[in-house]
Amino acid sequence: MVAGVIIAAGLVWGASLASIASQIGHPFPGFFYTPDRIVSGFTPQDFTGWQAGLRPWDRIVAVNGQHWREMRRLVREAGIGSTLVYTVERGDQRLKIAVPTWSSPPIAWGASFPVVSSSPSSPWPSASLST
């Protein structure tokens, strides 16, 4: 039983990590999501998706009124700084949440892993290890 839970957690973590890695250096939707379009619990609260109202376990069903499978293309075409409207299912509710896109932050890896420092000229905040 415990092994099954550990395996399931590892699969969720791996899917989230794959989503993160695929977005580095590209227009970014403002939140992390799994391949089955679930908003990831790894999304930091300072990302635009969280600030706009997306929450972990929200299921994306549409983007700008188009099928969710068009999300990557729509984010890429929108570029940085545009707003996309995500239709999500949260429990038995269906919500529309407008989320600004932004540049994929290099610190995104720090959302799940500690980062010791970043360049002083970087626009992204630095996370540090505390003792």
37-75: pLDDT as tens digits: 999 998 899 999 999 999 999 999 999 999 999 998 999
82-112: pLDDT as tens digits: 999 999 999 999 999 999 998 876 554 444 4
**Assigned token pair, 78:** 């929108």
Q: Are strands 102-103 and 93-100 parallel, antiparallel or unpaired?
A: unpaired
- Of 89, 85, 121, 91, nearest to 106 (Cα)? 121
Which fold, 2-111?
Pdz3 Domain (2.30.42)
Q: Is 75 exposed, middle or buried (0-12, 13-18, 19+ CB in 10 A)?
A: buried
DSSP state of 121: T
118-131: pLDDT as tens digits: 344 434 444 433 33
Question: How many residues in total does the chain contain?
Answer: 131
- For residue 62, the model assigns a pLDDT of 97
- Of 15, 42, 53, 52, nearest to 107 (Cα)? 42
- Of 111, 110, 107, 87, nearest to 97 (Cα)? 87
**Assigned token pair, 96:** 């529309």
**Boundaries of every domain in the chain:** 2-111
Q: What is the dihedral of CA 99, 128, 19, 77, to 10 degrees?
A: 40
